[in-house]
Structure 1
Amino acid sequence: MEHVDVAVIGGGQSGLATAHALRGQGLQPVLLEASRQAAGSWPRYYDSLTLFSPPRYSSLPGLPFGGDPDRYPHRDEVVAYLRRCADRLDAEIRTGTRVREVLLEHGTFTLDLEGGGQLAARAVIAATGTFGRPHRPDLPGLETCTAALLHTADYRTPEPFAGQRVVVVGAGNSAVQIAAELAGRARVTLATRHPARFARQRTLGRDLHWWLARTGLDTLPVGRFLRTPPTQLVIDDGRYRTAVSSGRPDRRPVFTGIDGTKVTWADGSREEVDAIVLATGYRPDLGYLAPLGALDAAGHPRHREGMSLTHPGLAYVGLEWQRSLSSNSLRGVGRDAARAAWRIAAYLSRA
């Protein structure tokens, strides 16, 4: 069996930042990416997505994003940037390599790979993010829905929904952006438990992330104290608040039931819908660690600030609120990666 220092599972922004940090600690990581390119989930996001933070705040360690530092890059620009990071990374990247499960045998992690083959590692860093595990909440009647039902992970463009009656469930960035986009082609309702909360993208000529960096809120290590992540704010340049205020899309409380293609609203009215889009977020995509006993009953990792509480040679990078507000973003993942790499290097020096 092949043996390596550290196996990094996931080749997106978290995995690339982690491998870079491990090389800085003198280790030889091997990056394992299930898809055919080291760009994480970015190539599969919806077509109109743009980065919320400007490039001056969105570079991974070791390679500036480039271009106008104050623009908001399109999804495809981010993909190209991550590919450049992968090309310049001084570490081995193995694409098309999906980890099926991780086991611990005689103090060494054994990674079983899909399609056969194994890899032994002294330490493992899980950096697979959340995109592979869309969250589908237990909404009333959802199991009986015969309208088109999809998650934002499956959404790409508004064209297939032209002229249809569509309900988008959720109040976060993706929910509001997709609902507003669809409203140009369809009759759309944004169904939420509470009204969406908006944050201005620019204040006094400065981007929101300038203020977060200047005040220190972006890096404040409060993750360990959060039992439930705070309600997500919709970062808005004015377009989305205006769209919702004008009723395109309109906003209603979440439906109380579904029967086939008929939705029942809180006021008792019923109507036919063509499609329901669940913009209800994601959960950590870490099923391959279940055999280790590293996850709780809900599939969340047992960790403190990215370090496993069950296995000393196991760490995480890219979890939401892992340490701070920016932990699972391009602008913040490098800090958490550096911390995890330092802790793993310290562990291996004692092992």
Structure 2
Amino acid sequence: MPFPGAPDRYPRREEAVTYLTTYADRLDDDIRTGRRVTAARHVPGGCEVETEGGERLRTRSLVAASGSFGRPHRPALSNLDVFSGRLLHAADYRNPEPFTGQRMVVVGAGNAAVQIAAEPREAASVTPATRAPVKFTRRHTFGRDRHFWLTVTGLDTAPLGRVPRRPPAQPVLDDGRYRAALRGGRPDRRPLFTGVGGAKVTWPSGDREEADAIVPATGYRPDLPYLARLDGALDAEGKPQHRQGPAINVPGPAFVGLEWQRGLSSNSLRGVGRDAERIARRLAAPLTRR
């Protein structure tokens, strides 16, 4: 279903919500909301899914389509767990007001990290801390959005080869303001701190500095604990084991909406439909042959 609205601007939150609810209303499906899945297990002929309320559903096939952003990623960073100041992931950040007059360190070099670090610079003293220099890419080229060019060049739909264990970091989409802000030292990017003790961080230079808040903007991971009983569906870190969607170590389950699943846009509204259609055809094939 095409996304409505003006094509030359980004949709607002309300527009995205309306799109999704309208899409769901048009489907001839039994959609059950408010039913968190707690477990999936193999049974003869397929899988059984159990929900939080004790409901049990049997199915020939199971597709985990909850995407890549269900679980905020909190990497082990230099004793961060003993930090006595305020520690919150970017997922819990809302606006700069609570940090007025404070010293704030934002960890990460992606879009969320740079945007959060740049937002409260008038109200707080902010430092983005990164392992490597921040990389930028233009949001618009020749007046058209980056996503437009990915689509017309075919890069958006080109199947990826073997996905690397650690996919490359995404550059920060910028219209020039964030690059200029970092170049001007507001906020002042620094190499990642080497230690944390109490309310102080230790920088690579050896200097120790007090911080009121540390905000890891370190991305997300799929949230799929309900697949733990399907041996081989997930690795030791809880990541899906699949090849372009279908699970590779266990029969039955498949995945949709994962980052780098088949192409650059596999985990976005603009690209997930192509992967979903492919998975649906694959799962329906045995029934068609019958």
The letter of the residue matching 1:131 is F
Distance 1:186 1:347 in 2: 60
Residues 50 and 56 in structure 2, CA contact (< 8 A), matched pair in contact too: yes
Cα offsets for 1:38-57 (capped at 9, x unmatched): xxxxxxxxxxxxxxxxxxxx
State yes or no: 1:108 paired with 2:17.
Answer: no
Q: Which of 257, 262, 266 pairs up with 1:327? A: 266
What amino acid sits opposite 1:266 in the alignment? Answer: P
Deviation at 1:75, TM superposition (A): 2.6
Report 1:138-287 matches (<5 A): 138-222=76-160, 224-287=162-225
Contact persistence 1:223–1:321 (CA under 8 A): no
The partner residue of 2:73 within 135, 152, 159 is: 135
Residues 145 and 347 (structure 1 numbering): CA distance in 2 closer, same or farther, change over 3 Å? farther
Q: What amino acid sits opposite 2:269 in the alignment?
A: L
- Per the TM alignment, residue 80 of structure 1 is displaced from its structure 2 partner at its CA by 2.5
Which runs of 5 or more structure 1 residues have no equivalent in the other structure?
Answer: 1-61
Q: Secondary structure at the residue paired with 1:304? A: coil
TM-score of the two chains, using structure 2 as the length reference = 0.95
CA contact 1:224–1:305 (8 Å) conserved in 2 = no
Distance 1:347 1:251, change over 3 A: farther
The answer to whether the Cα contact below 8 Å between 1:223 and 1:324 also exists between their aligned partners in 2 is: no
CA distance in 1: counterparts of 2:285 and 2:215, whole angstroms:
45
Does the 8 Å contact 2:5/2:11 carry over to 1? Answer: no
Q: Which runs of 5+ in 2 are unaligned?
A: none
Which string of whole-angstrom CA distances, capped at 9 and with x for unpartnered residues, describes residues 93-137 of structure 1?
111100001000112210111121211111110011233211111
CA deviations on 1:251-295 (whole Å, 9 max, x unpaired) are 001100000110101111111111111100111111110100111
Q: For residue 257 of structure 2, what is the aligned residue in structure 1?
A: 318
Does the residue aligned with 2:4 lie in a helix, a strand or coil?
coil
Secondary structure, aligned partner of 1:166: strand
Aligned residue for 1:288? 226
Using the size of structure 1 for normalisation, the TM-score is: 0.79
Q: SS of the counterpart of 1:292?
A: coil
| Contact preservation (8 Å) 2:90, 2:216 | yes
- After the TM superposition, list the runs of 4 or more consecutive aligned residues in structure 1 that deviate by more than 4 angstroms: none
From 267, 281, 288, the counterpart of 1:342? 281
Question: Structure 1's 179 and 207: CA in aligned 2 closer, same or farther, altered over 3 A?
Answer: same
Aligned equivalents of 2:170 and 2:243: distance in 1? 22
Distance 2:287 2:73 in 1: 35
| Aligned position for 1:85 | 23
CA drift of 1:90 comes to 2.2
* 2:75 counterpart letter in structure 1: P
What is the CA–CA distance in structure 1 between the aligned matches of 2:236 and 2:27, rounded to whole Å? 36
Cα distance, 1:162–1:151 mapped onto 2, change above 3 Å: same
How many corresponding residue pairs?
289
**Take 1:257 and 1:153, find their aligned partners in 2: how far apart are those partners?**
23
Give the alignment partner of residue 76 of structure 1, picking from 1, 8, 14.
14
Return the offset for 1:74: 2.4
3-state SS in 2 of match to 1:94 = coil
1:66 aligns to what? 4
Deviation at 1:199, TM superposition (A): 0.5
Cα 1:133–1:196 change in 2 (3 A) is same
| Contact 2:257-2:266 within 8 A present in 1 as well | yes
